[in-house]
Amino acid sequence: MLQFESWKKILVLLVTVLGIVYAAPNAMPGDGSESGNFLPGQKINLGLDLQGGSHLLLRVDMDVVIQERLESMAETIRLEFRQQKLRFSDLDVVDGTVVVTLRNASDGDAAREVFQEFGPVVSITQDGPGYSIAFNEQGLIDLQSRTIEQSMEIIRRRIDPDGTKEPVIQRQGADRVLVQLPGVDDPEEIKRLLGRTAKLTFQLVDTSITAQEVRERGRAPSGSILLPADDDSGEFFVVEKRVMVSGELLDSAQASFDQNNRPAVTFALNAEGAKKFGRVTGANIGRPFAIILDGKVVSAPTIQSQIFGNGQITGNFSVAETNELSLILRAGALPAPLIVMEERSIGPGLGADSVAAGQIAAFVGLALVMVYMVLSYGLFGLLADVALLVNVVLILGALSAIQATLTLPGIAGIVLTMGMAVDANVLVFERIREELRRGRNVMAAIEGGYKRAISTIVDANLTTLFAALFLYIFGSGPIKGFAVTLSIGIATSLFTAVMVTRLLVILWLERRRPRELVL
Amino acid sequence: MRLKLVPSETSLDFMRLRLPALGFSGLLVAASILMFTLVGLNLGIDFRGGILIEARSTDGPADIGGMRSDLGTLGLGDISLQEFGSDTDILVRVQRQDGDEQAQIAAITAITDTLGSGYEVRRTEFVGPTVGAELAQKGIYAVGCALLAIMVYIWFRFEWQFSLAAILALAHDVLSTIGLFALTSFEFNLATVAAILTIAGYSINDTVVVFDRVRENLRRYKSYEQRDILNRSLNETLSRTVMTSVTTLLALLAIVLFGGAVLRDFALAMMWGVLIGTYSSVFVAVGALAFFDLKRHLDEEDDPGSPAEAG
């Protein structure tokens, strides 16, 4: 027992050195990346609560997507039925289902063929002449997965257009996306960037009727729709439902100014968009068309001449708004609106303050515990203090090595570990005291102390580890960080108490060969 | 001269205090449950949903009265303002707004706009009602699963009587901590759940150390009265119990004094937990053990620490 084999000595030394090497970058100024190639250069990954940043849990509003899909299906059915001269009535979207009634029962087969075009994602039910078409379970799952993947891609392009900000964008559960963006000064900006789907369309204004007349009548002519203006003027426009060109066909968008020096967004269409746009504008010179963003009319200029690739969107914009709008348009439209379920944003000032406070608390806590140990156990207390320092270095090294995220509660976890880490040593030392009181000689007492304390130490630490484990499983964000540091702390304190302190005690015994021990 | 808070050898009669202590603990738990049901917890936005904004006045102490009247005009319902750590820092709590998530976001914008340039917004948190309910559920699962796992482990390592006694002590700690939060109206949030789990971890740590000694002494002193064995075990471990409690309290004290306002409540809850956990290991866990007729011939199991013995 008191022969500490050389391989164990080497192991202790090796682990300690590794700990120092991995922990070292944290003591250096700068981001640590400039250290030599042979040394690990990574610092501890600070959580959002320490470096500042935003955490957003977003829900992708699937209802909107499903409704859109169903409406587009209804539109396809309308066109196909007209083309094939199938007579129908009551075509509508009701409660997540497209319903339609055939006038002639004999058209059933032809109608079914039209429905089959939607693929295996829909289920069709028939009730006499009435048909209803809805997404089946698999169809909904597919649609959801696709929508969320697209949303994540668009989110990334919007908040990190240059790919330099290292955001975390993760799918969570069925319909949620977690966005974590470190180091942002203005969390409102992210919400503005993600707050609109940015569906851009160009649609002709329906000049056969005025908005006033539509409102009096209560409904727009079929094929047209009443839309509000984007500003707060309360103005309305009647526009054709048919989309001339939509935002997917944009090639680029830039913030600029119009001829009156007002902020504007200049855009260019890609080849396909330019062709389409040119065709429609060429045929409708003199008519107004509406530029529609997220269901609101931004402006409705009159087509002066055939327009191909380029255009300008003017409206009631500030320069900041045109910058954001052009960024959003470049990134593309979100397939569905995003709803913020949870938001936690920490300013960089608060993060820095928390780090400073945590460091002071850690140093003071460490000092208090170390002094108390020396006062209580003398030399052995000092040896335990050395082990405690090794312990702290190992925790920092482990956090850097596995790139775990250190959060504010995580700092509390480290400080708490310092208090609890000496427990294993206390258990051993108290045992040695007991053995000495029983009249054992120094060697036997120390050997007995370690031998008897070890099972208690393991039991006690394993049970604490359970608590940490469930904190990790069920916790979120900072709490997870706390669980990680607590678990690492338990592992390293076991190691330092059982190996490091013991090695030091044995080295002392070998050098001094004491006949007496006052503990 | 060594600093010793506890004399080397004590022979305190803990078991004599067992019944009064169990009575006290029973009352404590009953009062806690009563406080919890009658007064309830001051749930933070983590569980209740709502908005929290931390703002720092950029020139001098914050004008709480002015802020209150400014924010009052927004019609956001119940707004609470509180100094946070220093007189320039203010915590603004706003109740959950009627309507969907968009309404909450609009409220945040309205508040930050109203605060204006005289205040630096240092932190905004918003938790929607759905997420709040989920977080509460996860918190309950975490505490429940941890208690269960600990119970099973103790059962496995000791005997069922130990497991039952340990879980009684743990439930005692958790319930009385919840009672304390109900009594003091301290905010109960995610960090509190973490604190409770850590308290459970600390308390079980303490209990296991005492139980280990009880098991050992049961084997060693076969002719002794069980009551004497329990007393002896508590006395033998008392010095360690106090020592570890003090070092942990010292570390926590450092967080309370220097760790900043965010961690203060967490560390205070932990300090309470260390005290209650130490008390419950001695009086509740071992006190409950005394009701059982414990087996004297516990199997000599394989020690998980055997590698060290081989050394």
Residue B55's identity, in one-letter code, is A
Same domain, residue pair B154 and B273: yes
Residue A71: which domain range?
A: 62-140
Chain centroid to CA B166: how far? Answer: 16
B225 touches chain A (CB under 8 A): no
**Residue A509 is inside which H or E element, if any?**
helix A502-512
Residue B310 scores a pLDDT above 50: no
A433 touches chain B (CB under 8 A): yes
Q: Determine the pLDDT at residue B306.
A: 38
How many Cβ atoms are within 10 Å of B149's Cβ, its own excluded?
Answer: 16
Q: Which of A120, A140, A160 is the last residue of a domain?
A: A140
Same domain, residue pair B83 and B189: no
Q: Determine the pLDDT at residue B278.
A: 93
Same domain, residue pair B107 and B156: no
Number of domains making up chain B? 2
DSSP sequence for A134-163: EE-HHHHHHHHHHHHHHHHHHHHHHH-TTS
Are B107 and B76 spatial neighbours (Cβ–Cβ below 8 Å)? Answer: yes
Best mutation target among A464, A480, A485, A498 (most B Cβ atoms within 10 Å) is: A464
Q: Determine the pLDDT at residue A212.
A: 85
Q: Determine the pLDDT at residue A30.
A: 59
Q: Determine the pLDDT at residue B32.
A: 95
A340 touches chain B (CB under 8 A): yes
Residue B240: which residues within 8 A CB-CB, separation 6 or more?
A: A423, A426, A427, A430, B209
Same domain, residue pair A354 and A292: no
Q: Determine the pLDDT at residue A176.
A: 92
Alpha carbon distance B267, B199 (integer Å) = 11
- Choose the closest CB to B198 out of A434, A456, A467: A467
Over residues A322-375, the pLDDT tens digits come to 888 888 888 888 888 888 888 888 888 888 888 899 899 999 999 999 999 999
Q: Is residue B55 part of a domain?
A: yes
Q: How much is the average pLDDT of A401-429? A: 85
Are A400 and A26 spatial neighbours (Cβ–Cβ below 8 Å)? Answer: yes
Same domain, residue pair B145 and B217: yes
Residue matched to tokens 């169903």: A70
Where residue A244 sits, what CATH number does that domain have? Answer: 3.30.1360.200
A499 touches chain B (CB under 8 A): no
Chain centroid to CA A373: how far? Answer: 44
Q: Across-strand partners of A299?
A: A291
Over residues A108-129, the pLDDT tens digits come to 888 888 888 888 888 999 888 8
Which of helix, strand or coil describes residue B5? coil
Alpha carbon distance B202, B284 (integer Å) = 15
Same domain, residue pair A331 and A365: no
Same domain, residue pair A418 and A479: yes
Where residue B99 sits, what CATH number does that domain have? Answer: 3.30.70.3400
Q: Is residue A1 part of a domain?
A: no
Over residues A172-181, the pLDDT tens digits come to 888 999 998 8
Q: Across-strand partners of A177?
A: A58, A171
Q: Is residue B311 part of a domain?
A: no
Residue A427 scores a pLDDT above 60: yes
Same domain, residue pair B26 and B80: no
Over residues B182-204, the pLDDT tens digits come to 999 888 988 888 888 888 888 88
Same domain, residue pair B227 and B138: yes
Q: Sort out which chain A residues have CB atoms less than 8 A from B190's CB and list them.
A: 475-476, 478-479
Chain centroid to CA B225: how far? Answer: 35
Quick one: B225 exposed, middle or buried, by C-beta within 10 A (0-12, 13-18, 19+)?
exposed
Q: Determine the pLDDT at residue B309.
A: 36
Q: Determine the pLDDT at residue B1.
A: 63
Same domain, residue pair A441 and A329: no
Residue A289: which residues within 8 A CB-CB, separation 6 or more?
A: A202, A203, A204, A205, A244, A281, A300, A301, A302, A303
Q: Which of B127, B154, B171 is the last residue of a domain?
A: B127
**Closest residue of chain B to A454, computed from CA coordinates:** B305
Which ranges in A24-161 belong to alpha helices (H)?
Answer: 48-51, 62-83, 108-116, 137-159
What is the interface pTM, i.e. ipTM, of the complex? Answer: 0.85
Q: What is the largest CA-CA distance in chain B?
A: 78
Which ranges in B86-189 belong to alpha helices (H)?
Answer: 101-115, 129-157, 160-184
Same domain, residue pair B192 and B276: yes
Q: Which of B127, B143, B159 is the last residue of a domain?
A: B127
Over residues A350-360, the pLDDT tens digits come to 888 888 998 99
- Choose the closest CB to A412 out of B246, B259, B308: B259
Residue A32 banded pLDDT, cuts 50, 70, 90 = very low
Same domain, residue pair A311 and A267: yes
Cβ–Cβ gap B258/A357 under 8 Å: yes
Best mutation target among B124, B162, B188, B197 (most A Cβ atoms within 10 Å) is: B197
Which range of A297-301, A365-369, B131-135, B220-224 scores highest in mean pLDDT? It is A365-369
Over residues A288-326, the pLDDT tens digits come to 989 898 888 888 888 888 887 788 888 778 888 888 888
Residue B297 banded pLDDT, cuts 50, 70, 90 = low
Same domain, residue pair B201 and B108: no
Q: Is residue B6 part of a domain?
A: no
B101 touches chain A (CB under 8 A): yes
Over residues B11-25, the pLDDT tens digits come to 888 888 889 999 999
Same domain, residue pair A79 and A124: yes
Q: Sort out which chain A residues have CB atoms less than 8 A from B109's CB and list them.
A: 188
Same domain, residue pair B142 and B248: yes
Cβ–Cβ gap A467/B308 under 8 Å: no
Higher model confidence: residue A518 or residue A140?
A: A140
Q: Is residue B26 part of a domain?
A: yes
Same domain, residue pair B185 and B61: no
Number of domains making up chain A? 3
Cβ–Cβ gap B197/A467 under 8 Å: yes
Over residues A231-266, the pLDDT tens digits come to 777 889 999 888 888 888 888 888 988 888 889 889
**Closest residue of chain B to A427, computed from CA coordinates:** B240
Residue A29 banded pLDDT, cuts 50, 70, 90 = low
Same domain, residue pair A386 and A275: no
Cβ–Cβ gap A461/B197 under 8 Å: no
Q: Sort out which chain A residues have CB atoms less than 8 A from B156's CB and list them.
A: none
Over residues B69-89, the pLDDT tens digits come to 888 888 888 888 888 888 889
Higher model confidence: residue B25 or residue A3?
A: B25
Alpha carbon distance B217, B230 (integer Å) = 8
Q: Is residue A204 part of a domain?
A: yes
CA-based nearest residue to B233, from B289, B153, B274: B289
A187 touches chain B (CB under 8 A): yes
Alpha carbon distance B181, B275 (integer Å) = 15
Q: Which of A316, A344, A372 is the last residue of a domain?
A: A344
Same domain, residue pair A21 and A66: no
Over residues A477-516, the pLDDT tens digits come to 667 878 888 899 889 988 888 888 888 888 888 888 887 7
Cβ–Cβ gap A463/B259 under 8 Å: no
Q: Can you give the pTM of this predicted structure?
A: 0.79
**Closest residue of chain A to B247, computed from CA coordinates:** A419
DSSP sequence for A405-443: EE-HHHHHHHHHHHHHHHHHHHHHHHHHHHHHHTT--HH
Q: Is residue A161 part of a domain?
A: no
Q: Which of B106, B127, B148 is the last residue of a domain?
A: B127
Where residue B253 sits, what CATH number does that domain have? Answer: 1.20.1640.10
Over residues A154-172, the pLDDT tens digits come to 899 888 888 887 888 999 8
- pLDDT above 90 as % of chain A: 17
Residue B98: which domain range?
A: 50-127
Q: Which of A96, A114, A140 is the last residue of a domain?
A: A140
Q: How far is A225 from chain B (nearest CA, A)?
A: 26
How many Cβ atoms are within 10 Å of B301's Cβ, its own excluded?
Answer: 11
Q: Is residue A88 part of a domain?
A: yes
- Report the DSSP pairing between strands A168-172 and A130-135: unpaired
Q: Is residue A14 part of a domain?
A: yes
Are A500 and A387 spatial neighbours (Cβ–Cβ below 8 Å)? Answer: yes
Chain A residues 288-317 within an 8 A CB cutoff of chain B = none
Q: Is residue A517 part of a domain?
A: no
Q: Is residue A242 part of a domain?
A: yes
Same domain, residue pair B62 and B199: no
Cβ–Cβ gap A354/B130 under 8 Å: no
Same domain, residue pair A503 and A379: yes
Same domain, residue pair B205 and B96: no
